[in-house]
Amino acid sequence: MKVRLTRVLLMAFALFTDVQAQTEDLPVKHYVLMPAGAMKEISGYFSPVSKPLGNWTPTQTELNGLESQLPKITEMRSEGPIRGEQILHPERAYRQYFAVIVGERKVIFVSAFDSDRPPAAYWRTHAVQISDGGNSVWRVIYDPKTRQFEHLTTNGRA
């Protein structure tokens, strides 16, 4: 009985370590479509005139379009308090996508931050708020209709 239990435990451990090794090799998805309730967490990024009126659900095709257009961000320069900053590798940032309605437009507000390792799980459900950080923390608006980005901003520096 003892030998049988040991054998079962060894098989379970081998299976667990094999699954864990396979999981560690999987690429980490660097973006998430945020839940509708998280929209209120980003309202401070909009002026009173351009406050989101609601949210919408983009199709996977629209999200794929955004992802395919990410290299265009490298051609932009930041607006706002820190002007002229450039994002060299937007695909490396962790990106939160908020699908909002501003005026008559359905746009995707992108809030992004760089990290050397995967962030805590809450980044998939709550807006990440970071003070300072320079161009390692940035935001941009994507219009799926025109497939264009606009209004790139970065955080200040401490």
Residue 126 CA to residue 122 CA, distance in Å, equals 6
Q: Which two tokens stand for residue 43?
A: 């309202």
Query: Of the candidates 145, 14, 149, 135, which has an alpha carbon nearest to the alpha carbon of residue 75?
Result: 149
Give residue 61's pLDDT.
Answer: 97
Counted domains in the chain: 1
The distance from CA 68 to its chain's CA centroid, rounded to whole angstroms, is 14
Residue 20 lies in a domain: no
Residue 103 lies in a domain: yes
Residue 134 lies in a domain: yes
Residue 68 lies in a domain: yes
Query: Of the candidates 152, 95, 138, 88, which has an alpha carbon nearest to the alpha carbon of residue 119?
Result: 95
Give residue 28's pLDDT.
Answer: 61
Give residue 158's pLDDT.
Answer: 63
Residue 80 lies in a domain: yes
Q: How big is the chain, counted in residues? A: 158
Q: Provide the domain limits for residue 136.
A: 28-154
Residue 8 lies in a domain: no
Give residue 20's pLDDT.
Answer: 35
Give residue 74's pLDDT.
Answer: 96
Give residue 119's pLDDT.
Answer: 84
Which residue type, as a one-letter code, is found at position 69?
A: Q
Give residue 23's pLDDT.
Answer: 35
- Per residue of the chain (158 residues), give pLDDT as tens: 554 544 433 343 333 333 333 334 445 689 999 999 888 888 878 877 788 889 999 999 999 999 999 999 999 999 977 889 899 999 999 999 999 999 999 999 999 998 877 788 889 999 888 777 667 889 999 999 999 999 999 977 76
The count of C-alpha atoms lying within 13 angstroms of the C-alpha of 26, restricted to the half-sphere facing its C-beta, is 10
With a CB cutoff of 8 Å and minimum separation 6, the contacts of 79 are 151, 152, 153
Look at the pTM and tell me if it is higher than 0.85. no
Query: Of the candidates 96, 95, 119, 98, which has an alpha carbon nearest to the alpha carbon of residue 107?
Result: 98
Residue 15 lies in a domain: no
Q: Residue holding tokens 């390692």?
A: 136
Residue 155 CA to residue 142 CA, distance in Å, equals 18
